[in-house]
A = this chain, B = another copy of it.
């Protein structure tokens, strides 16, 4: 039996499963203006950030999520110069984006400054590009930021948020996707984490429907492992104004930066659709 004074456990709501990590000590906890944030030093996963009881990021396995939220969409857009991250307060997605030489401006808009301040202390490697002159960290409401933006303000919007409950709920709505559509440039695309293919097919279907009805004609869901998230299998969904049939395969194969999971073969592989996924969504 696992002693709760030594193990952090997250129960997946709706699927009666749980994932636990043994920890050496709790390093920090606080109720910020928006959410309850905990930091653990685990036995085997490095540090772990938990928000409102849900695992967010661990030292050991965050590379999967951050790389797959960044590189596929950036190597799909023909020339990504202006990128916004909605959420992403741990700065790991920002770091990956800034590896792309084409990016001229990367704005991270997380409502909760405390997430970033704690990441600077407990996940310094994720914050190593925060002082890049192209980076701009804003601590304001991302939904309002997108709503108020002028047309043709941005090339890619990465929605790197918590689950669709609490402050992130409005990020999974047609109104938000419509606002994204309106401020994106001609080839603009948005990518959003879309939960577990094994547990959350209904949510993935609803998200895709909302993206379509907001005006995005081209959708692509990609799949990747993520040990600390429910079921250990995760997805992200890209909604694009222009065709997603191809990505910049040669640029990806010749990328001049290091990654731990992503490469051109992994990019292609992440796009393969399981049979049950195609059936559930009526895809051919």
- The minimal Cβ–Cβ distance linking A230 to chain B, given in whole angstroms, is 9
- In the assembled complex, the Cα of A1 lies from the Cα of B7 at a distance in Å of 10
Query: Chain B contacts of A197 at CB under 8 A?
Result: 225
Q: How many A residues have CB within 8 A of the partner chain?
A: 47
Q: Which residue of B lies closest to A226 (CB)?
A: B232
Please tell me if the beta carbons of A19 and B17 are within 8 angstroms of each other in the complex.
yes
Residues in B with CB closer than 8 Å to A247 are: none
A233 at interface, CB cutoff 8 A: yes
Q: Cβ of A32 < 8 Å from any Cβ of B?
A: no
The reply to whether the CB of A173 lies closer than 8 angstroms to some CB of chain B is no
Shortest Cβ distance from A191 into chain B, in angstroms?
Answer: 19
> Which listed segment binds B: A38-46, A120-128, A141-149, A236-244?
A38-46
Q: A261 contacts which chain B residues (CB < 8 A)?
A: 274-276
Please tell me which one of the listed residues B20, B232, B270 contacts residue A227 in the complex, with CB atoms under 8 A apart: B232
Determine if B273 and A265 form an interchain contact, defined as CB atoms under 8 angstroms apart: yes
Q: Which of B198, B262, B269, B278 contacts A61 (CB 8 A)?
A: B198
With a cutoff of 8 Å between Cβ atoms, the chain B residues found around residue A43 in the complex are 16
In the complex, chain B residues whose CB is within 8 Å of the CB of A18: 2, 7, 9, 18-22
Asked whether A213 is an interface residue with its Cβ less than 8 Å from the other chain, the reply is: no
CB A266 to nearest CB in B, in angstroms, measures 5
- Chain B residues with CB under 8 A of A42: 16
B-facing residues in A207-227 (Cβ within 8 Å) = 223, 225-227
Determine the residue in chain B with the shortest Cβ distance to A196. Answer: B227
Residues A9 and B17 in contact, CB atoms below 8 Å apart: no
Chain A to chain B: the 9 pairs with minimum beta-carbon distance, closest first: A232-B232, A269-B272, A16-B22, A269-B269, A16-B43, A225-B233, A265-B272, A18-B20, A16-B44
Sample of 15 A–B contacts (CB below 8 Å): A1-B9, A2-B18, A17-B44, A17-B45, A18-B20, A18-B22, A60-B198, A61-B198, A198-B225, A225-B232, A227-B233, A260-B275, A263-B272, A265-B273, A269-B270
